[in-house]
Structure 1
Amino acid sequence: MKYVLKTSAPQRHSFDLTRELNPQQIAVVEAPPRELLVLAGAGTGKTRTLTYRVARLVAAGCNPERILLCTFTNRAAREMVARVEALLGIDMRRCSAGTFHHIGNRVLRRHGQAIGLSPDFGILDPEDARTLLGSVIAELGIEALSARRFPTPKVLANLISLATGTRQPLEKVVEQHNLKLLDQAGMMAQVARRFAERKRQMNVCDFDDLLSEWLRLLEDPSLRNVGDELRAAYDHVLVDEYQDINAAQGALCDAMAVGHQSLTCVGDDAQSIYSFRGADFTQIAAFRARHPQADLYKLTINYRSSPQILALANRSIAHNRSQYPKELQAVKPAGAVPAVIPLRDVFQQAEFIAQRVLELHHEYDTPLARMAVLYRNHSHSLELQVELTRRQIPFSVRSGLRFFEQAHIKDVCAYLRARQNPQDALSWVRLLRLWPGIGAQTAEQLATLLAAPLSQSTGGSSAQRLAEQAARARGRARDALTRLAELWAILEDPALQSPGDMIRRVVERHYGEYADRNFPNAAARKDDLEQLAGYAARYPAASEFLGELALVQGISAENVLGAEEPDDKLVLSTIHQAKGLEWPICFVLWLAEGRFPMATAMRQPADIEEERRLFYVAVTRAGDELYLSYPVIEETRDGPSHMLRPSKFLLELDTLPAVFDRWQIEEAPADPAPVG
């Protein structure tokens, strides 16, 4: 008996684009199926445009399952697909839509046997991958061979991932991202090879394998039939956030479009800001070199920002040479002119932002959640977080924990706490566990000895006690305690009183190396610690600094425990975390040369251009009001304060016609004594 199943292939539909889209967007939606690069400026409705292009392809008769839609979050893919279903009234579940990893998983389930993967292969989450890496390191005896500088599994996993995504040798990636570990690169490559072998033996993939093995199916000449079958399954490839893809993802997009040549890539070269994660700017910048027949479309009608904010953004990004030139045009009516505010120092900068936020909140009835403070590095928010806490202005930190709650800040402060109060056993335990060869149980035992009053001990300073314990220890613990005793002798020197200098000694003698081994973002964490040292240098003694720290944390705890957590909070965020978001009012702080752009970015034109793109992203988050501030004076570690130059991104704007107002700050008399 035969049973006929009626096809679910879509019927041709028509809908009125002019009601939903502007002419630029319609041109993209109605473009014929071929290679397209769509340059969608900030706030120009790129997601809506891409969604309607998918709907247009389906409405024209394409079966949804023959569309490949690559996004950077599965949520974005679900929302696009749901919108297409609402527009057309059809089932889109068979559309291959999702992140590259999501799609790669589906591809390998179907075709992975060609490379030795069974359909039921497992996927290692990041924690499982780090555990397996640790097992491989132990199996090969690497830690013993490399003394104390071999990176932790977390750091090594990050470097292997970067190598896979950028399609570069591991040694090259180590040289670019963690030069201090370059002498370990040979052993790291050995671990990476064994790691790959173990994964294959276990029939598992990590997240990076989902892309690299998919790419292997497409590029390996011996698997040509499989690659051809895989490509033939799709008629159209569409890619969102194209400026953020890495080399592996770019190669996948190009390879999947071979044959039908229907490739739509939507992104904004002016918002490519994630090179530290492996994003490859050349993928979008050199698109037409790889696809010379491609059509180029631009979306420049901006629905988010005022004409005054866009005038500033357009002038700034025009200084980049590596770009597709375009100018955003505002739909909104004229608004406030952006303000540039020079301030005496970082503390006045924090006071200004806190006061202005309160004015906007109370006098103009602006909810706190409709305002954001953006910064280049998380450490740039230190003084502001202290000031907001003192004034009891609720805030949330999008870019992670509050500054003083971060692990590396607590780690280094533990040294100062134990130095200030040797009976603080908790601080001893925390800092001891940072040293190789000292486990949790040993740290507890040592902390009990070190925290004991002198009358119950053999006596002597903490440095002497540590030296005595080092003499009794063996192996790595002996080396660690010897070095810690030497560091403690420095910290106990009566000539060393500045808490800022104490922090720097801890970083120089131990924690900097610890960060390199344990944190993928070691450089950023060390920047945080230098910022902490600069802040602590204001206080003449460690006791005063730690007392102020306790006060700030106590006020913060009271705000949380003493009342219901407020829903309305000021947003604090790094600019990287803020991409894709918007607020009516934005503050961008620390716009001083060497801070934004960073000093390390001044070496290469490509790095400066990425920093300028980051500034462009920051200013285009603002809808109605934009405040750009910088401190004029900075206290230094080695002598008197020095003058800071405004960021080159501000100097570039300071031409006619004016695109900002320069505010002059007048200080009313106030009691300079700290709160408390």
Structure 2
Amino acid sequence: MLAAAMQTLTRPDVPPPSGTDPLAALNDAQREAASHLGGPLLVIAGAGSGKTLTLAARVAHLVLNGADPQRLLLLTFSRRAAQELQRRCAALLHQALGLKPTQAAPVLPWAGTFHSVGARLLREQALAIGLSEQFTVLDRGDAEDLMALVRQQRGLAATAKRFPMKGTCLSIYSRCVNSQSAVGPVVQQVFPWCQDWVDELQALFADYEAAKQDQQVLDYDDLLLWWHTMMQEPAIAGPLSERFQHVLVDEYQDTNRLQAGILRALKPGGGGVTVVGDDAQAIYGFRAAEVRNILDFPGQYSPAARIVTLDRNYRSTQPLLDAANAVIALAPERFAKTLWTDRASAEKPRLVTVEDEPTQARWVCEQVLARREQGLTLMRQAVLFRSSHHSAALELELARRRIPFVKYGGLKFLEAAHVKDVLAVLRWAENPRNRLAGLRVALLVPGIGPAHARRPLDTLAAAADPGAAMATWQPPAAATVEWQALATLWLALRRGEPGWPGELQAIADWYAPQLERLHEHAAARQTDIDQLVQLARGQRSRERFLTELALDPPEASSDNAGDPSLDEDYLILSTIHAAKGQEWQAVTLLNVVDGCVPGDLGVGTTAELEEERRLLYVAMTRARQHLDLIVPQRFYVTQQHRHGDRHMYGARSRFLPPELLPLFTHATPRADGSEPTRPTTQVMDLREKLRSRWG
């Protein structure tokens, strides 16, 4: 039945099979966007307007009208978003085709992040563009380590003046790549303290690029850079453009210049292009995201481009939307829209003025507990902030009151030393020229120090047959037994003898005694290794596993897990950036003052200031029912100061000018965090007594 249905779909003269219409549940604007056929389409999707459903319905509509699922390219910004989009598309197609529960809906093989799709295409075209088919992808930590190695080789670690550290060097390099800018302008605009080192940085990046090519590795940014460069070659760009009938991009406001350039190269005329996004939620400029991509989209494809605006909000109450609309309406350049909803409410958002940060922390705790008593669980409440350190006082107060919380951030899974050790073995087996991985593995062997560790790497790099070189290399006498065990494992991995995913289990078995020897709390860390083995079972090959792990790593590791939480409920603490795409019944935003929102480093240019305005808008539109913006009047500064601690006064954020204040209710809690109550006794008038002091 499925085969017959798909044959029918490829014939435009035959109506689609009977079933549920994928557009039936959409509102008018969503239906207009989903049913568009023809030229380039820009969907301006306001916060909470159902953009994922609309995009999924559009995919289903295209397939039902003859589009080949194999020729649909869906580009998202996270694997989770791609999976959710695929799930919704499958559900809509399943219903529309009238399939039985046991029958699978058509799959969308080309749905993924820009980076994951880029990795697949580069792997396909590797021989044609001078890449090794066995290239491996460096994660952020490994890329920093390689940058450090090149930095040291160039003698930049021994300069008389301070030279940028490896992380800063990689950040500058990444910014140059993603913004398609030269080193000089990037340093001047974003890293001004590095302006004395522009020439040295340029030479460092050239050597870094050469080192990656010598070792047959790509870093995260290379996946876009090589894809973009590849698309400048007509012999490759032409077939790829023809291969994909439709290209749909989610969160287009977060694309950088490389990604926008890739889209234009894939579809120069704009036919079959759909981009979905919201310029009012463009908040990733620090990652080189370019809001002009979405603002300029209509002009790039004029006059063929069509714009559809989704302005009905399904998340927030109207008073919350009124305030958020007013904040973003003050932006000088934007796609005009006014979010509306049928969720009426008499409760306005609150603007809360407090004495200082400790009072702010106490008040938040009081409100969180009060709402919990009213039936709103902690997990349905969130406290947001501009920067991670803004929640320090609140975290102390939450701990004192024994209110459990989870804060987004911390050590990433792939940054844990024991995880990096295991993956280094796998990466070295996959790519014998990966010098960084090989050095890390060699140093795991007892009896081999830094000097000896480089020798087998030099041998393998010079050998036509790395396997033979590995089998015959002689280690120091003290390391003979341990090295032989590693060499045996490495050769077996090269031959694929354990089979996938058994290869990772073989590495875990070899690494177990090293884990005991090198790390404390080995049992807790072993759970991370076990998790790696489990993750491996979800990928079809070693190469795919390493690539996907570098592109979308797990978040947590035992290095920072601490004691497991025994609480069934916990409060959410999050930066605004990490909260994008999320929603809660109640949202509290800390430190809505100049210097925090906007941040003191975010007001250098008009573009930076406008991104800070959009950041406040994103925070406000995370709330469904309750929204509190807190304005501390005093901040204590405990940095070194000859007169001891000092304080600074805070002014309400410039994004909340006086004309917006009627959209809020106002509260001024007491120093203990509780709401003030009206006095019950007669108020004493002391004015006459004070005047009488002077005669």
The alpha-carbon deviation at position 6 of structure 1 amounts to 9.3
Secondary structure of 1:648's aligned partner: coil
Q: Does 1:169 align with 2:182?
A: yes
Amino acid at match of 2:307: L
Secondary structure of 2:601's aligned partner: helix
Match of 1:128 in 2: 142
Amino acid at match of 2:58: R
The alpha-carbon deviation at position 170 of structure 1 amounts to 2.2
Match of 1:273 in 2: 283
Match of 1:218 in 2: 231
Q: Does 1:339 align with 2:345?
A: no
Secondary structure of 1:355's aligned partner: helix
Secondary structure of 2:231's aligned partner: helix
Q: CA deviation digits over 1:284-313, x for unaligned, max 9?
A: 111122121211110011010001100000
**Mean alpha-carbon deviation: is it higher for 23-32 or for 391-400?**
391-400
The alpha-carbon deviation at position 395 of structure 1 amounts to 1.0
Q: 2: CA distance between counterparts of 1:153 and 1:667?
A: 45
Q: Does 1:88 align with 2:93?
A: yes
Matches within 5 A, 1:280-429: 280-293=290-303, 294-362=305-373, 364-400=374-410
Q: 2: CA distance between counterparts of 1:664 and 1:13?
A: 62
Match of 1:187 in 2: 200
> CA 1:577/1:653 → structure 2, altered by over 3 Å: closer, same or farther?
farther
Matches within 5 A, 1:53-72: 53-72=58-77
Q: 2: CA distance between counterparts of 1:206 and 1:192?
A: 13
Q: 2: CA distance between counterparts of 1:571 and 1:668?
A: 23
Matched-pair contact (CA < 8 Å) for 1:315–1:653: no
Match of 2:522 in 1: none
> CA 1:653/1:574 → structure 2, altered by over 3 Å: closer, same or farther?
farther
Matches within 5 A, 1:226-265: 226-259=236-269, 261-265=271-275
Matched-pair contact (CA < 8 Å) for 1:312–1:653: no
The alpha-carbon deviation at position 335 of structure 1 amounts to 4.4
Match of 1:609 in 2: 610
TM-score (norm 2): 0.69
The alpha-carbon deviation at position 564 of structure 1 amounts to 5.2
Match of 2:168 in 1: 155
Q: Does 1:661 align with 2:661?
A: no
Matches within 5 A, 1:31-110: 31-89=36-94, 91-93=105-107, 95-110=109-124
Match of 2:589 in 1: 588
Q: 2: CA distance between counterparts of 1:29 and 1:148?
A: 58
Among candidates 640, 650, 658, match of residue 644 of structure 1? 650
Matched-pair contact (CA < 8 Å) for 2:76–2:249: yes
Q: CA deviation digits over 1:265-294, x for unaligned, max 9?
A: 000000000101111111111112212121
Matched-pair contact (CA < 8 Å) for 1:10–1:63: no
The alpha-carbon deviation at position 560 of structure 1 amounts to 7.6
Q: CA deviation digits over 1:365-408, x for unaligned, max 9?
A: 2111111111111121111111111111111111448xxxxxxx
Match of 1:426 in 2: none
Q: CA deviation digits over 1:486-540, x for unaligned, max 9?
A: xxxxxxxxxxxxxxxxxxxxxxxxxxxxxxxxxxxxxxxxxxxxxxxxxxxxxxx
Q: Does 1:198 align with 2:211?
A: yes
Amino acid at match of 2:162: R
Secondary structure of 1:344's aligned partner: strand
Matched-pair contact (CA < 8 Å) for 1:174–1:182: yes
Secondary structure of 2:625's aligned partner: strand
Matched-pair contact (CA < 8 Å) for 2:5–2:17: no
TM-score (norm 1): 0.70
Q: CA deviation digits over 1:548-575, x for unaligned, max 9?
A: xxxxxxxxxxx986x9521311111111
Q: 1: CA distance between counterparts of 2:236 and 2:89?
A: 31
Matched-pair contact (CA < 8 Å) for 1:271–1:614: yes
Secondary structure of 2:384's aligned partner: strand
Q: CA deviation digits over 1:302-332, x for unaligned, max 9?
A: 0100011000001110000111110001132
Q: 2: CA distance between counterparts of 1:668 and 1:169?
A: 53
Matched-pair contact (CA < 8 Å) for 1:36–1:264: yes
Q: 1: CA distance between counterparts of 2:655 and 2:111?
A: 39
Structure 1 portions without partners, runs of 5+: 402-558, 671-676
> CA 1:635/1:78 → structure 2, altered by over 3 Å: closer, same or farther?
closer
CA RMSD of aligned residues (A): 2.5
Secondary structure of 2:309's aligned partner: strand
Secondary structure of 1:302's aligned partner: coil
**Mean alpha-carbon deviation: is it higher for 79-88 or for 206-215?**
79-88
Q: 2: CA distance between counterparts of 1:284 and 1:182?
A: 31
> Alignment length, in residue pairs?
502
Q: 1: CA distance between counterparts of 2:155 and 2:22?
A: 64
The alpha-carbon deviation at position 77 of structure 1 amounts to 1.3
Match of 1:142 in 2: 156
Q: 2: CA distance between counterparts of 1:167 and 1:42?
A: 30
> CA 1:255/1:668 → structure 2, altered by over 3 Å: closer, same or farther?
closer
The alpha-carbon deviation at position 260 of structure 1 amounts to 6.2
Amino acid at match of 1:315: A
Matched-pair contact (CA < 8 Å) for 2:237–2:265: no
Q: 1: CA distance between counterparts of 2:252 and 2:21?
A: 28
Amino acid at match of 1:310: L
The alpha-carbon deviation at position 121 of structure 1 amounts to 2.4
Q: 2: CA distance between counterparts of 1:190 and 1:147?
A: 18
Identity of aligned residues (%): 35
Matched-pair contact (CA < 8 Å) for 1:40–1:267: yes
Structure 2 portions without partners, runs of 5+: 10-15, 95-103, 412-560, 675-695
